[in-house]
Amino acid sequence: MSKGKSPMENQLEKIFKHTRAGSYGTRARYEHSCRNFVRYLGKHFKMKNLRNLQDKHQVSYIQYRQSQGMAAKTIKNDLVAIRYMHDLVSRAKHELSDNEGLKKKYAVVLEKTPAIKGDRAWTQEEYNQMQQLATEMAQKGGAGAATAKDAQDVMQLARTMGLRVTEAVAMKRSQAEQALRTGVYQVRGEAKNGKWREVPLSKAGKDLLQQRLRKTSRGQRLFIRPQEQTHEAVNRVEKFNSHHRHKVETTEGMIQRTWTKDGSTHVNELTIHGLRYGYVQDRVQEERDKGFSLEQAAARVTREVGHERIDVIRVYLGKGENEDEE
């Protein structure tokens, strides 16, 4: 048994080590989802063998993910991965229901989540104010000081390098060291859908990583505390933002994030993901300033932020797929 890993995690690794079903990227994505699921089972059900997996475990995990605010699409992807793994478990004791079966037997609801419309980017003033607020709270000390500093740094990585919140929070010391050596940060297994990618290390990112490394031991992660799970650290950071964002909202920003549908007006709230919008908008403009068209600029930026379709970039720009380019 590998040091520090539960029996089920070792079973999981063995399964994915020997399977060749699906592409490498798909297997990596499924393994990442299943690892989170297995850790959840170990913590909440004290399970030790994947052969004992039942519908009740699926249902509990769905409810847990929904309580985290996860989109229905994300949860459905998790379930696909779990069932893929279960199909490879030798002599499994129970069959797992599909989504329709879970709906009929346990009243599980996995409706489609409507896409967020309109712009979600922060204004520079809003970002600067949040950074200042976090700095002041970190300097005051007390119970929330460490989280304030974590939130400040994660937001900076989202705004200046386009990292997703989980990608930033899960950063390992070894990844930070490599980025400082090469000038390029490599997003690895923590990436959405398991897609590895390389991101230019920003000046702000470089300074931040140098400071963090002084306080991070070898083999550790920059933002995750001892005995803390990745999702728990992510939750801390996101809660900080949700508790304080109303203090930094500006009229200009709210107008920018306002959109209408069917005669109803909506305003997108400030989220950490919205900082990624600002990063994408800046990067696209940089490429357009070099003389590239919107489509060409989007094609250059899309892989940098972990996507493969240029129409996704139009979403980050606050444009609908059928809107004309200005």
Domain membership flag for residue 69? yes
- State yes or no: pLDDT of 114 exceeds 80: no
How far lies 318's CA from each of 13, 121, 171, 270, in Å? 41, 9, 29, 14
DSSP code at position 186: E
Q: What is the pLDDT of residue 325?
A: 35
Task: Judge if 130 and 223 occupy the same domain.
Answer: yes
Task: Judge if 131 and 92 occupy the same domain.
Answer: no
User: 306: closest CA among 91, 56, 10, 29?
Assistant: 29
Give the CATH number for residue 58. 1.10.150
Look at residue 221 and give its three-state secondary structure: strand
Rounded to whole angstroms, how far apart are CA atoms 77 and 193?
9
Containing structural domain, residue 187: 125-227
Task: Judge if 95 and 162 occupy the same domain.
Answer: no
Q: What is the pLDDT of residue 138?
A: 96
Domain boundary among 78, 106, 134: 106
Q: What is the pLDDT of residue 109?
A: 83
Task: Judge if 100 and 132 occupy the same domain.
Answer: no
Domain boundary among 194, 227, 260: 227
Domain boundary among 227, 257, 279: 227
Q: Which amino acid is at 102?
A: L
Of 98-102, 114-118, 155-159, the range with the highest mean pLDDT is 155-159
Rounded to whole angstroms, how far apart are CA atoms 258 and 296?
28
Domain membership flag for residue 259? no
Please state which of the ranges 32-36, 115-119, 229-233 shows the lowest mean pLDDT: 115-119
Domain membership flag for residue 98? yes
Domain membership flag for residue 61? yes
Domain membership flag for residue 215? yes
Q: Which pLDDT band, with edges at 50, 70 and 90, does 276 fall under?
A: very high
Domain membership flag for residue 249? no
Higher pLDDT, 184 or 117: 184
Task: Judge if 156 and 193 occupy the same domain.
Answer: yes
Tell me if 64 sits within 8 A of 103, measured CB to CB.
no
Domain membership flag for residue 277? no
Domain membership flag for residue 312? no
Q: What domain count does the chain have?
A: 2
Task: Judge if 166 and 200 occupy the same domain.
Answer: yes
Task: Judge if 49 and 87 occupy the same domain.
Answer: yes
Other C-beta atoms closer than 10 Å to the C-beta of 153 total 25
DSSP code at position 312: H
4-58 tens-digit pLDDT: 688 999 999 999 988 877 677 788 889 999 999 999 999 999 999 999 999 999 9
Q: Which pLDDT band, with edges at 50, 70 and 90, does 272 fall under?
A: very high
